[in-house]
């Protein structure tokens, strides 16, 4: 089984794959797969980020790779630096994204600034499993490039000023300070507290957009913008306090790009979790929805294969390769709000145009992970799945690639039905996984 999940490596800091020695070995494996050069590293605000950074540096340099330590920066800023600095050959982001503070992880980036390809991940894993041999000469370490990288990244975000009251939430994470500066001067209302190493995603950020929604209503804001702990996911809140996820943002962008003639591939790429409402919205406009396995690197690969320039996930990873090499919550959020401002229409009207079919989700702790095929075909879940299918529902049951859970999602004709079906699936799965 691959050591990489849907978005790199993630888990409890100091345990499993995230012990100091294993992190060193993983970093050395990545360096070996790259074949040398210079790798930029950055991290979010978790208190474990410092010692994990030291372990990553030790592993990379032991395999002959030099390191540029950029300190605390959003994932998309690291990606941007790798993509546009010819002196950089890869990147490592130390983050657990939307997970709680006690987790951490590694996201790997190739020379193009995109998430490491399957081939690069496989080569890294093979080198990790084989064990690295110390390079004849260790790589060097520099730690003075953050200001220049951040300045270049912020310059790339420049655009029309948003002269409206906007609530912003940086999740007390890697985008702290950066999101505020990207928004520029104006009527801005901050939500998340200053990072303290343990408050990242704690009731704030893209996994808790309801906090921003409440604040938008409280202060009478025009909109709210929310990113996650490392800044690559986006959620937007309209003036009525309604939260709009990645599907709504994709629909709005697809319609706008189609109208201006810039949408390519005749399709938008989503995942198995993409709401059927987006598929229906696109179909009305003669566009296809291509579904991939969960994970934005799968979306990126399908986009390249089909020649598409728009894709993403319901969770808020939105890929716009014409704008940036990887998911960039800050950039996409600003882009959508600027486009909305230019129309003169309320954000609620623009993002609310994408329908959302009734859906329910559940998470079931997976103390052990029997093969998913056996679980789905077993006597506990199979009857429930069949009942959902014959009732017009669309169930999705999968193991999380980022957390120790079985994830359940059900779409269907009514809210009551999908809630009941999700409860039934969760109870059936719990009986198996808890045994």
Q: What is the CATH classification number for the domain harbouring 271?
A: 3.40.120.10
Is pLDDT of 435 > 80?
no
- From 218, 240, 262, give the residue that closes a domain: 240
- Domains held by the chain: number: 4
pLDDT value, residue 132: 63
| 4 in any annotated domain | no
Is pLDDT of 133 > 70?
no
Query: Can you tell me the distance from the alpha carbon of 336 to that of 314, in angstroms, rounded to the nearest whole number?
Result: 16
Buried b (16+ CB within 10 A) or exposed e, 282-291: beeeebebbb
pLDDT value, residue 2: 76
Percentage with pLDDT > 70 across the chain: 98
- From 98, 118, 147, give the residue that closes a domain: 147
For the stretch 388-420, pLDDT in tens is: 999 999 999 999 877 889 999 999 999 999 999
For the sheet with 243-244, list strands across it: 188-190, 166-169, 223-227, 234-237, 243-244
User: Is residue 299 domain-shared with residue 377, that is, in the same domain?
Assistant: no
Mean per-residue pLDDT for 325-342? 96
| 46 in any annotated domain | yes
Mean per-residue pLDDT for 40-52? 98
66 catalytic? Reply is: no
pLDDT value, residue 134: 61
pLDDT value, residue 367: 73
| Three-class secondary structure assignment of 66-101 | EEEEEEECCHHHHHHHHHHCCCCCEEEEECCCCCCC
Q: Among the listed ranges 124-128, 153-157, 402-406, which one has the minimum average pLDDT value?
A: 402-406
User: Is residue 229 domain-shared with residue 249, that is, in the same domain?
Assistant: no
Q: Quick one: tokens of 20?
A: 């100091």
| 2 in any annotated domain | no
- 277 pLDDT band, cuts 50/70/90, is very high
| 128 in any annotated domain | yes
User: Is residue 219 domain-shared with residue 255, that is, in the same domain?
Assistant: no
- 137 pLDDT band, cuts 50/70/90, is confident
Query: Can you tell me the distance from the alpha carbon of 4 to that of 10, in angstroms, rounded to the nearest whole number?
Result: 8
User: Is residue 141 domain-shared with residue 42, that is, in the same domain?
Assistant: yes
| 337 in any annotated domain | no
Q: Which of 97, 256, 300, 315 is catalytic?
A: 97
Is pLDDT of 135 > 80?
no
User: Is residue 234 domain-shared with residue 261, that is, in the same domain?
Assistant: no
Mean per-residue pLDDT for 164-184? 97
**Domain, as residue range, for 231:** 163-240
* Contact predicate 174/72, CB 8 Å: yes
Mean per-residue pLDDT for 96-118? 95
Q: Quick one: tokens of 97?
A: 């994204």
User: Is residue 91 domain-shared with residue 15, that is, in the same domain?
Assistant: yes
Mean per-residue pLDDT for 358-378? 90
Residue 332 or residue 160, greater confidence: 332
User: Is residue 46 domain-shared with residue 101, that is, in the same domain?
Assistant: yes
User: Is residue 18 domain-shared with residue 138, that is, in the same domain?
Assistant: yes
User: Is residue 126 domain-shared with residue 35, that is, in the same domain?
Assistant: yes
User: Is residue 273 domain-shared with residue 296, that is, in the same domain?
Assistant: yes
User: Is residue 400 domain-shared with residue 425, that is, in the same domain?
Assistant: yes
| 339 in any annotated domain | no
User: Is residue 18 domain-shared with residue 143, that is, in the same domain?
Assistant: yes
Q: Quick one: tokens of 218?
A: 């409280």
pLDDT value, residue 428: 93
- From 240, 271, 294, give the residue that closes a domain: 240
| 47 in any annotated domain | yes
| 74 in any annotated domain | yes
């Amino acid at each position: 089984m691959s050591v990489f999940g849907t978005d790199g490596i993630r888990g409890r800091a100091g345990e499993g794959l995230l012990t100091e020695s294993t992190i060193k070995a993983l970093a050395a494996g990545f360096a070996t797969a790259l074949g040398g050069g210079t790798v930029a590293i950055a991290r979010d605000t978790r208190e474990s980020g410092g010692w994990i950074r030291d372990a990553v540096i030790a592993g990379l340099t032991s395999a002959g790779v030099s390191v540029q330590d950029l300190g605390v920066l959003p994932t998309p800023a690291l990606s941007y630096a790798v993509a546009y600095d010819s002196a950089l050959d890869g990147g490592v982001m130390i983050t657990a994204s939307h997970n709680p503070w006690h987790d951490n992880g590694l996201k790997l980036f190739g020379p193009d600034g995109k998430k490491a390809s399957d081939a690069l991940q496989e080569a890294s894993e093979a080198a990790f499993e084989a064990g690295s041999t110390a390079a004849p000469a260790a790589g060097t370490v520099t730690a003075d490039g953050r200001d220049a990288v951040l300045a270049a990244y912020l310059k790339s975000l420049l655009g029309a000023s948003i002269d409206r009251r906007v609530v912003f939430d940086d999740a007390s994470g890697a985008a702290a300070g950066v999101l505020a500066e990207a928004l520029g001067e104006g009527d801005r209302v901050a939500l998340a507290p200053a990072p303290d190493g343990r408050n990242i995603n704690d009731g704030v950020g893209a996994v808790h957009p309801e906090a921003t929604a409440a604040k938008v209503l409280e202060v009478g804001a025009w909109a709210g913008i929310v990113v996650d702990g490392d800044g690559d996911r986006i959620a937007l809140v309209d003036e009525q306090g309604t939260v709009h996820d990645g599907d709504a943002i994709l629909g709005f962008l697809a319609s706008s790009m189609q109208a201006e003639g810039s949408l390519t591939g005749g399709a938008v790429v989503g995942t198995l979790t993409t709401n059927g409402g987006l598929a229906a919205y696109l179909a009305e406009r003669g566009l296809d929805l291509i579904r991939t396995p969960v994970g934005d690197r799968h979306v990126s690969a399908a986009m390249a294969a089909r020649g598409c320039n728009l894709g993403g996930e319901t969770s808020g990873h939105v890929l716009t390769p014409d704008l940036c090499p990887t998911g960039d919550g800050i950039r996409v959020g600003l882009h959508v709000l600027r486009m909305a401002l230019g129309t003169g229409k309320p954000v609620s009207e623009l993002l609310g145009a994408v329908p959302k079919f009734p859906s329910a989700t559940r998470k079931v702790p997976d103390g052990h992970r029997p093969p998913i095929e056996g679980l789905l075909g077993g006597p506990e879940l199979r009857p429930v799945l069949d009942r959902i299918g014959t009732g017009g529902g669309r169930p999705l049951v999968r193991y999380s690639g980022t957390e120790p859970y079985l994830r359940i999602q059900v779409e269907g004709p009514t809210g009551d039905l999908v809630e009941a079906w999700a409860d039934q699936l969760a109870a059936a799965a719990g009986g198996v996984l808890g045994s």
